[in-house]
A and B are shown apart, each in its own frame.
Chain A
């Protein structure tokens, strides 16, 4: 993994720490773990979405404003990568 990739992942994790209001420490959550199972509510997922857009200067199209995209750190990472290219 390049330093840019690490940067994206760590930025996503920082956003989750700040906005996701999870019941557990983000460091204990693996990339593929369900964020919903870790306590991510739909309102908090909206805050996460807005923070991701702000941080990465991207805009999620309507078809990506759904539950699946914000399911895990890996799925968020995939979405961000897609929108950055």
Chain B
């Protein structure tokens, strides 16, 4: 992926008011047309989700730090997470802190941990929520949750498709292995159909998470071998290195085991989640159909409800 093509796309996005720079790579405001487009893509996803009868919930962009610890995220991708620390010192300490800032020195050690962390995966708050209902016992048929979540990933980049703060339209299925796997397969087809309807060239591929370190290499190999993760990919900055814009993840019994969630017949629940990367989908649309949303092809505008 050439840095020139990343630069070009980024400059176009800024020029047309879609991205508003903040001085930090991967951290941008979004303009009105961009946000309106994201909402319209969300409405397209609403329809099949509502027909499924998914439960809609909403969580803030931060989550419980103890729950984050419980998920094992710090073992898997410690390099991508972020925790909230805050100042809790006295006035003398405060004066020292301000002096550090004044001198341009690091002041991290003046902060202490809090109970909250930035949310690195949209599905994380869902597991304790389900574990708290009915003593963690799912009803017959399991459960399907639908949420739009702000996600943080500590990966500053000049790739306009790699943001530090972004939204995932996330769905989580909890139930028996059969229920969960067939739900995932259904949504993979739906995802491909929906994105194709929006004029994007998409392909589903086996993928892996960016697990950290040597042990990470083994987890990656396992994940690919077992086809636990699929991504729908489309070119954004590069034809030869397409970008993942939606992912489908099967967790087997990992979260059921960790959080104590059981199916109606007492077995450890299996789970899967999918995430539509809302900004990436919008970027793919802008790249494909042009920076001026009102000039997009009629059929695409119709699919997104611009004429309603």
Q: Which residues of A contact B (CB under 8 A)?
A: 41-43, 45-46, 49-50, 62, 65-67
| Complex alpha-carbon distance, A50 and B214, angstroms | 10
Q: How far is the CB of B257 from chain A (nearest CB, A)?
A: 9
Is B299 interfacial (CB-CB < 8 Å)?
Answer: no
3 pairs of A and B residues whose beta carbons are closest in the complex = A42-B222, A65-B218, A66-B221
Report yes or no: A45 in contact with B222, Cβ–Cβ below 8 A: yes
Report yes or no: B219 in contact with A43, Cβ–Cβ below 8 A: yes
Is B252 interfacial (CB-CB < 8 Å)?
Answer: yes
User: Known contacts A42-B226, A43-B254, A67-B225; is A50 also within 8 Å of B219 by CB?
Assistant: no
| Complex alpha-carbon distance, A41 and B252, angstroms | 9
Q: How far is the CB of A12 from chain B (nearest CB, A)?
A: 17
Is B108 interfacial (CB-CB < 8 Å)?
Answer: no
| Complex alpha-carbon distance, A67 and B252, angstroms | 16
Q: How far is the CB of A71 from chain B (nearest CB, A)?
A: 11
Residues of B within 8 A of A66 (CB): 218, 221-222, 225
User: Known contacts A41-B252, A41-B254; is A46 also within 8 Å of B215 by CB?
Assistant: yes
| Complex alpha-carbon distance, A42 and B214, angstroms | 14
| Complex alpha-carbon distance, A65 and B225, angstroms | 12
Q: Which residues of B contact A (CB under 8 A)?
A: 72, 214-215, 217-219, 221-223, 225-226, 252-254
Given contacts A41-B252, A43-B72, A46-B218, 10 further A-B contacts (CB under 8 A): A42-B219, A42-B223, A43-B219, A45-B218, A49-B218, A65-B217, A66-B218, A66-B222, A67-B221, A67-B226
Residues of A within 8 A of B254 (CB): 41, 43
Q: How far is the CB of A29 from chain B (nearest CB, A)?
A: 20
Residues of B within 8 A of A41 (CB): 252-254
Residues of B within 8 A of A67 (CB): 221-222, 225-226
Residues of B within 8 A of A62 (CB): 214, 217
Report yes or no: A65 in contact with B72, Cβ–Cβ below 8 A: no
Chain B, Cβ-Cβ closest to A64: B218
Residues of B within 8 A of A42 (CB): 218-219, 222-223, 226
Residues of A within 8 A of B72 (CB): 43
Report yes or no: A50 in contact with B215, Cβ–Cβ below 8 A: yes
Q: Can you give 7 A-B contacts (C-beta < 8 A)?
A: A43-B219, A43-B254, A46-B215, A49-B218, A65-B214, A65-B218, A67-B221
Residues of A within 8 A of B226 (CB): 42, 67
Q: How far is the CB of A20 from chain B (nearest CB, A)?
A: 14
Chain A, Cβ-Cβ closest to B72: A43
| Complex alpha-carbon distance, A22 and B221, angstroms | 21
Residues of B within 8 A of A43 (CB): 72, 219, 254
Residues of B within 8 A of A65 (CB): 214, 217-218, 221
| Complex alpha-carbon distance, A62 and B219, angstroms | 12
| Complex alpha-carbon distance, A46 and B72, angstroms | 13
User: Which of B72, B215, B223, B252 counts the most A-chain CB atoms under 10 A from its CB?
Assistant: B215
Residues of A within 8 A of B217 (CB): 62, 65
Chain B, Cβ-Cβ closest to A21: B257
Residues of A within 8 A of B253 (CB): 41
Chain B, Cβ-Cβ closest to A68: B225
| Complex alpha-carbon distance, A49 and B217, angstroms | 12
Residues of B within 8 A of A45 (CB): 218, 222
Report yes or no: A46 in contact with B225, Cβ–Cβ below 8 A: no
| Complex alpha-carbon distance, A52 and B225, angstroms | 22
Q: How far is the CB of A69 from chain B (nearest CB, A)?
A: 9
| Complex alpha-carbon distance, A46 and B218, angstroms | 7
